[in-house]
Structure 1
């Protein structure tokens, strides 16, 4: 693999964060702005579910392939392609959205761009940030996801209510432009051929490492099943248990702040301690599982505690698993990212669907019990996998 300069890490991480928000914010906006879309284009709950489900399905299906594509080019070039590519679905959502079919097409385009973009952001950290600081860099990058959720929530009252929902999508267009502005283009546009990762992505991946990566991706797919289900139904459950909608929203906001803080802090720990990043992720998942059993009690005063544990702690492993993936398969970080993201996409797509069916059949308490058990099982699978020697067939 070619030697890549690690200068300009601050601007590179800034570009990475901006791109990460750019490829996730539009999808969050669709969910947040659903009441406005229902009024203006006739979007139904079924149509919203199809659009969001399609987004996750396409994202998972293209993650490995486009991760390989990311490996074969410089991260600067990949960032430019992903950033400008994101502007296409944003333009469709802001200017051409008239019915559910167009929404689904926009979600397909956004999912494809996201698959390239996330692989590129991980590649940027590997190439631009020194190894002893990559944990914090991955933590900051993954903290961009709950930040995008927060921005989507604020866009409804601050933009959609006053200027219209189309302007909220136009607001999302600022982030790919920021990513481009922060990218040090001269490292690609005027770079010598020796600066480009000409052989990365062509090197064979160790079968033992590939097997371990797939096993860990499956475990964290189950983990994502639990967190996506919690995110979809916690507010409804809290209101059902007597909490006011503003208080439920504030609880989610506090849990999100805890989540962002934990992602960055755990990245710092990964840089300064010898604990394997995947092991850290498994321990966080195990600790977060307690939150589901707290929610199971049904006591209204315990709901914030359960939410902070299950969401703030139990979903704080995102940066760690991306760091662990690129360290496990350093010869193909884009591929490693793609495998991991395929698992996460499967969990994200199936969790709310299954949870909704279970709530309809048996109520919330069986759901929290199931999610708590699944979180414990996923954490156990991660920790047991890491105990086995890597060479074991």
Structure 2
């Protein structure tokens, strides 16, 4: 596809809008986990239930990822992004009910919104980028995920303590709705290629069929599953590992978790730049998988006698590598797909990625039950990272 010529300002605005949408929907997805202790104490529920809420939300994302291509084609990428934001807002409002069945339904709606974001963004960004900057631009946009996580951790607990957990969720809903409204002027330019007569009822499995028929797309998608399984395990269990296995305080572990998120932001943008300038997307993805596997093995060696600086020296690169692959992965999908099929291919491949998100933490928890050690379980997490890297390397060969 020939990139649409854009001025530097127009490209900056497009990337800023796409990143903001990603950050806001990610913030909404992580809102409940960020205030789980406060909510659990008031409702008399175990805070561990938040794990089920995340799984339900990603289950919803898996569903819409399969039909997002049809939505983008009929409604346009901007309109689809607006609907994603409004679904996130509705989900957050539904979570304030405090009644588990309704909260589960709200989590599904929240996931519906999350599943629409990347296919819509890929459709716009592919039209506005060239091979010289595509990986970097996609990676900047994907930095919205750790930005959303950082915002959730930094803003929502204080809001919940000051005004109540319900109002913290309402605040997220309001910001998401305002951003949806602010995107309206962008529809004139970016939704001009939509087809109002396009069918919405096409087979939701058609995208999966396209993925499986292409060896390159199949390798990327299976690698996305493996990398996503490791990625969420890193952020989910890091604090627990540091407190339980290394004897850190909760505050000390929280500092390292923040460092992981920041490393993820830097890793995504940095890896995108490296891919564009030197190694290309596929080779960089292989390198990130290898680095993730190596740092996972090093994490398995950590113990109470390790100084904090040594732990940071292992875990920060672990975070940068395990969180740094997403933007390049999306850019590679867009590059490998036919232009008209980019939203459909992106959504179908993300079905695998969200599957990794669902399986990874559960498998990690089950393996911990066998090993009895979080550090040892992290060492085992090197396996999917190496397998994903090997699949891509073999495909390149």
In 2: Cα distance, 1:160 partner to 1:367 partner: 33
* CA contact 2:211–2:348 (8 Å) conserved in 1: no
In 1: Cα distance, 2:132 partner to 2:248 partner: 44
Deviation string for 1:2-48 (max 9, x for gaps)? 99664622222221112112222122111111112212233334632
Question: After alignment, is 201-210 or 219-228 more displaced?
Answer: 201-210
* CA contact 1:15–1:179 (8 Å) conserved in 2: no
**Unmatched 5+ stretches in structure 2:** none
| Secondary structure at 1:15 match in 2 | helix
**Unmatched 5+ stretches in structure 1:** 388-393
Of residues 353, 357, 367, the one that matches 1:358 is 367
Change (3 A) 1:47 1:251: closer
Q: What is the CA-CA distance between 1:336 and the residue it aligns to?
A: 2.0
* CA contact 1:90–1:172 (8 Å) conserved in 2: yes
In 1: Cα distance, 2:177 partner to 2:213 partner: 34
> Where do residues 1-393 of structure 1 align in structure 2 (5 Å cutoff)?
6=6, 8-45=10-47, 47-94=49-96, 97-173=97-173, 174-182=175-183, 184-185=185-186, 187=188, 195-198=192-195, 210-240=214-244, 241-273=246-278, 275-299=279-303, 300-301=306-307, 302-331=310-339, 332-364=341-373, 365-387=375-397
What RMSD over aligned residues (CA atoms) do the two structures have, in Å? 2.8
Change (3 A) 1:18 1:179: farther
Per the normalisation by structure 1, the TM-score is 0.87
Question: After alignment, is 60-69 or 242-251 more displaced?
Answer: 60-69
Question: After alignment, is 177-186 or 293-302 more displaced?
Answer: 177-186
Per the normalisation by structure 2, the TM-score is 0.87
- Length, aligned pairs only: 380
Q: What is the CA-CA distance between 1:236 and the residue it aligns to?
A: 1.1
In 2: Cα distance, 1:230 partner to 1:76 partner: 32
In 2: Cα distance, 1:86 partner to 1:98 partner: 17
* CA contact 1:47–1:100 (8 Å) conserved in 2: no
In 2: Cα distance, 1:29 partner to 1:208 partner: 35
Deviation string for 1:272-305 (max 9, x for gaps)? 34x3313211211211221111111123323222
In 1: Cα distance, 2:73 partner to 2:102 partner: 31
* CA contact 1:6–1:130 (8 Å) conserved in 2: no
In 1: Cα distance, 2:224 partner to 2:257 partner: 22
* CA contact 2:217–2:333 (8 Å) conserved in 1: yes
Change (3 A) 1:183 1:209: farther
* CA contact 1:71–1:335 (8 Å) conserved in 2: no
